[in-house]
Structure 1
Amino acid sequence: MSSFLQDLRFSLRQIRRSPGFMVTAVLTLALGVGANTAIFSLLDQALLRSLPVRAPEQLVVLSGIGKAWAGHSSDHGAGVEQSFSYPMYKDLRDKGTAVFDGLIATAPTSVGITRNKVSELVDGEIVSGNYLSVLGVKAAQGRLLTASDDTVPGGNPVAVLSYHYWQTHMGSDVHAVGETISINGAPFEITGVAAPGFQSAVWGQVPDVFVPMSMLDVVIPGKGKRLQDHTDRWMNIIGRLKPGDTTQHAQVALAPLWHALRAEELKALGTKSQRFVDEYLTRSQLLVAPGARGLSYSRESLAKPLYAVMGMAFLVLLIAAVNVASLLLVRSAARVREFSLRYALGANARRVVQQLLLEGVLIGIAGGVAGLLIAPLCLRVLVQRLSTDGPTAFSTTLDGRLLIFNFAIAVAVSILFSLAPAVQLLRPDIVNSLKQQTTTASGRTLSFRGLIVSLQVGLSVLLLVGSGLFVRTMQNLRHVDTGINTSHLITFHINPLLSGYAKEKVPALHQQILESMTALPGVQAVGATNDAELAETGHTGDVTIEGYTAPPDQDFPIEIPYVSANFFHTMQEPVLAGRSFSEDDDATHPMVGIVNESFAKHYFTNPAAAVGKRVVGGDSKKGEYMTIVGVTRDAKHANLRDAALPTLYSPLKQSKFAEQLYVYVRTATPTEQSFAMVRQAMKQIDPGLAVDELRTMEEQIDTTLGNERMIELLAISFGLLATMLAAVGLYGVLAYSMAQRTREIGIRIALGSSRLGVSRLVVVDVLRLAGIGVMVAIPCSVLLGRLLRSQLFGVSSADPLTLVGVILLIAVVAVIAAIVPARRASSVDPTTALRAE
């Protein structure tokens, strides 16, 4: 302990004597540690952290596997296997008490809330009455939902607000509890407010209001039959196991019950083929998976981008560590005599290594503290980027786990970079080191420093290549041909049923909105659909073609949107054959449809051959055939990455269930002015009609590219940081190398070498060091690109443009780093240099 305290005091004095070195090393390390802490915070919240509920380790997520099914299914993004019918949930809840301490059901939805004559569409969660109590969520105000709120269908109009919504929309008003608000036009009493910190059992969901399942027909108008329909799978189930039970035991214990319940459902479906029976009953299985993190509709899509970004941040940290190691090597060169003297006076290798590691740990701790100041700033920027489309599940608060991670990684890295000078000073040449003359640096010493710099350059190349691939991907996505003209196009969404409109009044309202938008100044065209464009959504189904026999087991999903008469003109999608829809294509006229190129080529070889053919969506025995009157150009629908699906468009006026509406307005007026006019026109139609997602189509596309934009931002930031650190590292080693070679350079000049030749010598040295790093890193970067293939678009993992660009950038950085050392070397006075000896 005495020697440790002595070394500690000495280390603090050494650091105090070199403030410039200390500031540079700490800032370099802080950038790497802070970036890693911020990125790890996102990764921890999305992929690792348990739900903030009571005993989350007891939670499990249920999945029912089996290829055969009948009826309707909504997976919300979690996968159809995790979707269940409400009757199946009730049976599992009531008959699985030997396994579960509680079983809860949940499904996401949107609702229209009207309070104080102000209407808005918000995210909601329709849940079983025991949802909050089984999770162990406490009330911040009032009371939460109970099982008694989920008994009589339509008989319990109560709601619980999220803490965030209560804060931001009601100003934390304690009198809000007991107040009556309108949800989808029906009165609901606010019974309580959920505790702060809790959002949902579904990670990624940020609901503003929780409503019991008994109010399903109000929350999702027209869907009340789901509470009795065994063939409608639309909700997710989470259970709480009894204390001490395991997922394996629960799955085995539930197998007989699952088989019995499926057998009852199979009887209700009627006679089925033996293959269907085998798939539906014999091969079906109820899976019980750990649910401490909750289930998620978005975790899988976030996992790869977050791991990729975490890898980039870790590369930055390694580059920072190597850079600090390089700085320590340069600094240790001036201390060779000091440590040689200590060896000569009897010091052993252990004390020397202890001294150097202690100095490194002090730098690491200081870098960790500085990283804690940088991390929240980085985290706030990232969360803002991820929450451009509303509230996000990510928090900007660094908790205790992240503090531990921050300092653990800072100390670990500090020990790593402290080993470089420790190895160098472990066995110094005591005799020569104690001499007073300046000598040319040994080849071993310079080779070791050169190896460090080449490693730094190689890591920078890996990061720059990854950054370049992500930037190229984003460029390709931004310039992809969507099939529609997105410029001067704004869009908004309404759902009249969520504002209390009866179904029979919706078509007239749709027509009134389209006419009102068309009459606005500067508007060139107005179109509408029930299926939003480029919004990560889609309505697919099967079609039957008159006279066409589909191959056995053909799986060919068809997009089946409803659109207004002027839709294709508004989106500027050309009609290649036949005609577009007209205002006369309504319920009083024969059913008609328009297909896209992919549909026409698949079924009819070419667009012209499709016109006049008859088709029906779904089973021809249940639907009415429509005549294809036109063929339009393919257009991307759900997102920019996927190819256009075969599409069958139907007229909006011939729809029986197109309730929500996405309106598209092509206008020549400035965006803000157009937004104001749209809001005013909708207010004149009905002040209580909530207008949602009013934005330009460019903004709509940016929303769907949220993950890609985050990766691009970080890739550019990390790439620039890596380039800067590589330049600093190259400069540091060159500056030291030239200082050690002063006598050699003086001799060269004295023997007739030109100043240009000396400068060329420096540049060749730096290009050699950079070249070694590049040659090793390029093959590794190609392999890294292959691991990232799923995140790339329109670019290969060995993209020549990216590789050549990175090599040229490293060459430019190396030359820039060599400018100052080269000038100093070329200005050496040989007389002065030789006299020093």
Structure 2
Amino acid sequence: MFSDLRQAYRSLIAAKGLAFVAILTLALGIGVTTATYTVIDAVLLRPLPYEAPDRLVYLWEQGKTFENVNAQSSLHDVTEWRRDARTLSHVSAYRYWLFNLAGAPQAEAVLGAHVTADAFATLGARPALGRRFVAGEDRPGAPRVAVLSDALWRRRFGADPHVVGRTFRMDGTTYAVVGVMPAGFDLPSTLPHNALLPSRALELWVASDVDPVKDSPDNIGWWAFGRLAPGATLEQASSELARLAVAQHRRNPAAAETIHVRGLRAHVVRPIRSALLLFATAVGLVLLVACANVAGLLLARGTSRGRELGVRVALGATGARLVRQLLAESLLLAGAGAAGGLALASLGVRWLVALAPNGLPRVAEAGMHRPALAFAALAAVVASVVAGLLPALHAARTAPAGAARSVGRGTTLGGAAQRARGVLVVAEVALSLVLLAGAGLLVRSYVTLAGEPLGFRPERLLTMFTLMPESRFPTDRARGQFLLRAAERIRALPGVEGVAITDAVPLSGLGGYATAWVEGEPQPKPEDLPTLWPHDVSADYHAVLGIPLVAGRAFSDRDTAGARRVVIVSASLARRLLPHGSLVGRRLGGLRAEPLTVVGVVGDVRANAIDEGPQPAAYLPVAQETDIAGSLLVRTRGAPLALERAARAAIASVDPEQPVMNVRTMDDYVAQALSTRRFSLFLTAVFAGSALLLAMVGLYGLLAYLVAQRAREIGVRVALGAQRVDVARLVLGGALRLAGTGALVGAPVALLGARLLRSQLYGVGPSDPITLVAVAATLVGTAALAALVPTRRASRVDPAITLRQE
């Protein structure tokens, strides 16, 4: 084997140009493939970083009160599952929370979670310092304790090794540190992909102080997970919890009808699993195109080596020996290509991680680790076999004839070899068409989605959020006064057109949900009640965002705490609640303890996600609400971020201990809402572009070789009267025939593959004729461009020189 490799090395050194092109081609194919595999491995394949992760499950309830919006549960029901389920050894829950962390150098908003005391035990997670929570610490009245992340421990506590036992102030309450988790630890990621928060990773955990017995079953704001009992299966747990749900629903008709159980890793990766698997398929096609390209190069070289191989056969070499020798050459090429591919993959992984959408779980863990190296090695072996086997077999079969031709002037590409290279080029073009069709559909989808009306004006809009802990603002009056004073200070700044207050910025991924019905109308069944998004807003909210008033009036200064409770609804909710007639003046039940009078109807807004369409919404005046959140929206005359420092200073002038977070433009939220589709489009475009480039390089190589080998024939044709345009038509026609054949072969496959993209499309069908025609035209035009140089060379063949050589 080593002698074969030495011989292969000497042979490739003698053909430096071909070897260089082949290595570059394989480096591109292997590099793109390895980079994509590395991301897929980190997100989909790698086990979750917990003890026995395959035994962990995710649980959520689905009942009549709400539609299954966020796959959450109530702490009340979690406690019942923990008590009654025999197939689960542990059941835990957590809820995200923004904490106001006081202290030097300044107050800071920190993303953390309230957890049940057994959460870390369920995951099998152990702290690097101190201990985890113990039973009883998650009960009302228990001492307040917290576990820190490694990042927060280093940033705010100076990596103090004696931090356990230290106290700190957060949300106006004193907490004691009981542990520090290892670097990289986090709870399973269940944040909405479009949620824009201080970070995606949790930075601390506090033991819950909610009494699960007294907590309402309707308070479904908890993310529940558990561990299968020894010997129990996922199917057994699903069956048991389904029976528990039936029993709970009989006792309480408002309880969940169904309890869902899914493997924890499957639940975490479910939103992006299908997209990543499609990318894996696409990148596999790119590698196939690269292999076909190299196979064509080796086939041409093998044919031109007829004399050399024929001599070796005459000296006693067998066909198997020649095949082994030529496969060794392709293995060396693939090995060198893999080395270059690893360099490309390293850059590609950094690119992909930087461009990954906000909600892609665990993507930050992607890196050139041992699995990536092993995959690159495997890809090199596969590429060497796929690219080298056909040329090796062909060369070995034709080698005996090579000796007989050794006295001739040269060799030409035989009919079988020429047909084989043509088939390879057709295959490359067909595969490129499949990828181009997918990329074209995603482009059309993205353009359509980006052009959808949002229902509000995002330009020149600055957003920010400030925490108001109950310990510092014990009453809604205190919170309202703080926000109103902060809004007044900001409104007085130069360059500000208006300021509004809300509990959830549109497209932020935050906010709650509720149901409602019209008093005096037949009340629908619980399962027929529309799910809507309630928002607490200031009187000028709709004017600042540019949401049009359709009917009735806007909020005014008269809508105070002591006045009649009022609400403004979106047009889609008005149509849903009262299809015939006006909703203005009618009263809605279900939103609050007392009915609310509808005073206005406003336009629909895509508040949750752009691709979900407008969400039915109800707007309530902050002056009449008891749980006031602190998001501020500032309409500016110029660049919004130019006012960031002044806006922060204005809020600090009201209360310097209130941290300000998520200071960003509304355009950022829009870009984030489109980030997942933009990421998909980027990847598919890279794959399609790589495949198209490789296919056209293969077509160019075939045409250039044919022109060089047929120079004598072309010279004779010209000498006998053929016009140069006829010669050009001959070469260009051959290129277009190959491209057209590839397009015809690839079109049915592209239509079939486009159906797999259905879930990724928006506003366009998988068989969109405009996309297919545009892709076919792009392919033919690129083929013509690839044929330009060989066609020009063929048309300039001098018959006198050619005949003189005869």
2-side partners of 1:373 and 1:455: how far apart? 28
Tell me, yes or no, if structure 1 residue 509 matches structure 2 residue 503.
Answer: no
1-side partners of 2:78 and 2:668: how far apart? 40
2-side partners of 1:261 and 1:23: how far apart? 65
What's the CA shift for 1:773?
Answer: 0.8
2-side partners of 1:154 and 1:196: how far apart? 31
Task: State the match for 2:299 in structure 1.
Answer: 329
What's the CA shift for 1:498?
Answer: 7.2
Match of 1:131 among 100, 111, 119: 119
Tell me, yes or no, if structure 1 residue 532 matches structure 2 residue 502.
Answer: no
State the one-letter code of the partner of 1:194. Answer: M
Tell me, yes or no, if structure 1 residue 624 matches structure 2 residue 595.
Answer: yes
- Shift of the 206–305 alpha-carbon distance from structure 1 to 2, 3 Å rule, reads same
2-side partners of 1:636 and 1:796: how far apart? 22
State the one-letter code of the partner of 2:792. Answer: R
- The number of aligned residues is 795
State the one-letter code of the partner of 1:111. Answer: F
What's the CA shift for 1:307?
Answer: 2.0
Match of 1:85 among 75, 79, 90: 75
CA offsets 1:658-688 (integer angstroms, 9 cap, x no match):
x223221110132331212211112212222
Give the conservation status (yes or no) of the 8 Å contact 1:247–1:289: no
Superposed, 1:780-799 pairs within 5 Å as: 780-799=749-768
What's the CA shift for 1:519?
Answer: 1.4
Task: State the match for 1:772 in structure 2.
Answer: 741
State the one-letter code of the partner of 1:554. Answer: D
CA offsets 1:343-386 (integer angstroms, 9 cap, x no match):
33332221121112221122222222222222221111111122
State the one-letter code of the partner of 1:209. Answer: E
526-535 vs 743-752, which moves further: 526-535
Tell me, yes or no, if structure 1 residue 157 matches structure 2 residue 144.
Answer: yes
Task: State the match for 1:615 in structure 2.
Answer: 588
Task: State the match for 2:542 in structure 1.
Answer: 568
- Shift of the 416–294 alpha-carbon distance from structure 1 to 2, 3 Å rule, reads closer
- Shift of the 810–287 alpha-carbon distance from structure 1 to 2, 3 Å rule, reads closer
1-side partners of 2:586 and 2:282: how far apart? 54
What's the CA shift for 1:416?
Answer: 0.5
2-side partners of 1:288 and 1:567: how far apart? 41
SS of match in other structure, 1:137: coil
What's the CA shift for 1:465?
Answer: 1.6
2-side partners of 1:332 and 1:664: how far apart? 69
**Structure 2: gaps of 5 or more residues:** 192-198
CA offsets 1:13-68 (integer angstroms, 9 cap, x no match):
122223333232222212222222222222222222212233333x2315366x65
Task: State the match for 2:423 in structure 1.
Answer: 451
SS of match in other structure, 1:561: strand
Identity %: 32
Match of 1:119 among 80, 88, 107: 107
- Shift of the 681–647 alpha-carbon distance from structure 1 to 2, 3 Å rule, reads same
TM-score scaled by length of structure 2:
0.91
Superposed, 1:277-676 pairs within 5 Å as: 289-291=262-264, 293=265, 295-296=267-268, 299-386=269-356, 394-428=364-398, 429-430=401-402, 432-438=404-410, 440-497=412-469, 500-504=472-476, 505-552=478-525, 554-605=528-579, 609-618=582-591, 622-626=593-597, 628-657=598-627, 659-676=628-645
Give the conservation status (yes or no) of the 8 Å contact 1:28–1:320: yes
Match of 1:143 among 130, 136, 140: 130
CA offsets 1:450-480 (integer angstroms, 9 cap, x no match):
1111111111111112112212222222221
What's the CA shift for 1:522?
Answer: 0.9
Match of 1:33 among 27, 30, 34: 30
804-813 vs 787-796, which moves further: 804-813
1-side partners of 2:234 and 2:642: how far apart? 60
Give the conservation status (yes or no) of the 8 Å contact 2:39–2:363: no
Tell me, yes or no, if structure 1 residue 738 matches structure 2 residue 704.
Answer: no
Superposed, 1:199-210 pairs within 5 Å as: 199-202=186-189, 206-210=200-204
Give the conservation status (yes or no) of the 8 Å contact 1:486–1:697: yes
What's the CA shift for 1:569?
Answer: 0.9
Give the conservation status (yes or no) of the 8 Å contact 2:60–2:224: no
What's the CA shift for 1:791?
Answer: 0.8
What's the CA shift for 1:523?
Answer: 0.8
2-side partners of 1:396 and 1:795: how far apart? 33
Give the conservation status (yes or no) of the 8 Å contact 1:230–1:265: no
- Shift of the 260–576 alpha-carbon distance from structure 1 to 2, 3 Å rule, reads closer
State the one-letter code of the partner of 2:465. Answer: H
Say what the alpha-carbon RMSD is for the aligned residues: 3.1
State the one-letter code of the partner of 2:539. Answer: A
Give the conservation status (yes or no) of the 8 Å contact 1:440–1:742: no
SS of match in other structure, 1:367: helix
State the one-letter code of the partner of 1:182. Answer: R
TM-score scaled by length of structure 1:
0.88
What's the CA shift for 1:499?
Answer: 7.9
What's the CA shift for 1:724?
Answer: 2.0
Task: State the match for 1:108 in structure 2.
Answer: 96
- Shift of the 831–185 alpha-carbon distance from structure 1 to 2, 3 Å rule, reads same
What's the CA shift for 1:303?
Answer: 1.5
Give the conservation status (yes or no) of the 8 Å contact 1:492–1:695: yes
712-721 vs 426-435, which moves further: 426-435
CA offsets 1:627-652 (integer angstroms, 9 cap, x no match):
x2222222222111122233332222
Give the conservation status (yes or no) of the 8 Å contact 2:43–2:362: no
What's the CA shift for 1:342?
Answer: 2.2
Give the conservation status (yes or no) of the 8 Å contact 1:161–1:208: no
- Shift of the 502–787 alpha-carbon distance from structure 1 to 2, 3 Å rule, reads same
State the one-letter code of the partner of 1:572. Answer: G
1-side partners of 2:406 and 2:360: how far apart? 67
What's the CA shift for 1:767?
Answer: 0.9
State the one-letter code of the partner of 1:783. Answer: L
SS of match in other structure, 1:565: coil
State the one-letter code of the partner of 1:534. Answer: L
- Shift of the 662–811 alpha-carbon distance from structure 1 to 2, 3 Å rule, reads same
Match of 1:43 among 29, 40, 44: 40
1-side partners of 2:678 and 2:416: how far apart? 46
2-side partners of 1:107 and 1:638: how far apart? 20
645-654 vs 459-468, which moves further: 645-654
1-side partners of 2:467 and 2:519: how far apart? 34
Task: State the match for 1:220 in structure 2.
Answer: none
2-side partners of 1:447 and 1:7: how far apart? 29
Give the conservation status (yes or no) of the 8 Å contact 1:149–1:156: no
State the one-letter code of the partner of 1:413. Answer: A
- Shift of the 246–362 alpha-carbon distance from structure 1 to 2, 3 Å rule, reads farther
Give the conservation status (yes or no) of the 8 Å contact 1:302–1:707: no
- Shift of the 387–613 alpha-carbon distance from structure 1 to 2, 3 Å rule, reads closer
2-side partners of 1:551 and 1:208: how far apart? 40
Task: State the match for 1:713 in structure 2.
Answer: 682
Give the conservation status (yes or no) of the 8 Å contact 1:594–1:629: yes
Give the conservation status (yes or no) of the 8 Å contact 1:111–1:498: no
CA offsets 1:771-812 (integer angstroms, 9 cap, x no match):
111122123222222211111112222333322322222222
**Structure 1: gaps of 5 or more residues:** 217-223
What's the CA shift for 1:92?
Answer: 4.8
Task: State the match for 1:183 in structure 2.
Answer: 170
What's the CA shift for 1:332?
Answer: 2.0
State the one-letter code of the partner of 1:692. Answer: M
2-side partners of 1:632 and 1:89: how far apart? 39
